[in-house]
Amino acid sequence: MRIKSRLWVWIAVGLFVVATGAAAERDPGVAALTDIPEVEGKIAENLARVEHAQTRQSQIDTEISGLASTREEAEGRLHERARALYRVRRAGMLPVAGGFDALMAHLARTQRLSRMVKNDLETMEQLEERGAALRSEKNELADALREAQIELQALESKKEEIERSRRSATLFEETLRGEPQAAPRDDSMSYGRIRVTGDMEDLGEGFANMRGQLALPVQGSMRIGESSREGAPGLEFYGRSGGPVRAAADGKVAFAREYGAYGLMVILDHGGSFYTVYGGLGSTDVQVGDWVGMSTRVGTLDTAGPDAILFFEVRRGTRPLDARSWLGL
pLDDT in tens, 21-77: 444 444 457 777 777 888 888 888 888 888 888 888 889 888 888 888 888 888 888
Q: What's the pLDDT band for 177 if we cut at 50, 70, 90?
A: confident
The whole model's pTM is what?
0.54
**Are residue 80 and residue 223 in the same domain, yes or no?**
no
Contact 297, 245 (CB under 8 A): yes
Give the residue, 81 or 298, on which the prediction is more confident.
298
Distance CA 16, CA 53 (A): 7
**Are residue 20 and residue 106 in the same domain, yes or no?**
yes
Q: What's the pLDDT band for 180 if we cut at 50, 70, 90?
A: low
Q: What's the pLDDT band for 181 if we cut at 50, 70, 90?
A: low
Q: pLDDT averaged over the chain?
A: 79
Helix axes 36-90, 19-26, angle to 10 degrees: 150
Distance CA 296, CA 190 (A): 12
Q: What's the pLDDT band for 312 if we cut at 50, 70, 90?
A: very high
**Alpha helices, H only, 177-307:** 200-208
**Are residue 162 and residue 48 in the same domain, yes or no?**
yes
3-state secondary structure of 315: strand
Contact 278, 265 (CB under 8 A): yes
Distance CA 216, CA 25 (A): 51
Distance CA 11, CA 289 (A): 60
Q: What's the pLDDT band for 187 if we cut at 50, 70, 90?
A: very low
Q: What is the CA radius of gyration of the chain?
A: 39
Residue 183 has pLDDT above 80, yes or no: no
pLDDT in tens, 120-166: 788 888 888 888 888 888 888 888 888 888 888 888 888 888 877 78
> What integer pLDDT is reported at residue 28 of this predicted model?
53
Establish if 189 belongs to a structural domain: no
Q: N- to C-terminal Cα distance for the chain?
A: 84
**Are residue 25 and residue 165 in the same domain, yes or no?**
yes
Q: Which domain holds residue 32?
A: 2-175
CATH number at residue 269: 2.70.70.10
Give the residue, 289 or 86, on which the prediction is more confident.
289
> What integer pLDDT is reported at residue 186 of this predicted model?
45
Q: How many domains is the chain partitioned into structurally?
A: 2
**Are residue 136 and residue 41 in the same domain, yes or no?**
yes
**Are residue 305 and residue 232 in the same domain, yes or no?**
yes
Residue 167 has pLDDT above 80, yes or no: no
> What integer pLDDT is reported at residue 179 of this predicted model?
62
**Are residue 117 and residue 249 in the same domain, yes or no?**
no
**Are residue 137 and residue 94 in the same domain, yes or no?**
yes
Buried/exposed 246-285: b ≥16 CB within 10 Å, e otherwise: bbbbbbbbbbbbebeebbbbbbbbbbbbbbbbbbbbbebb
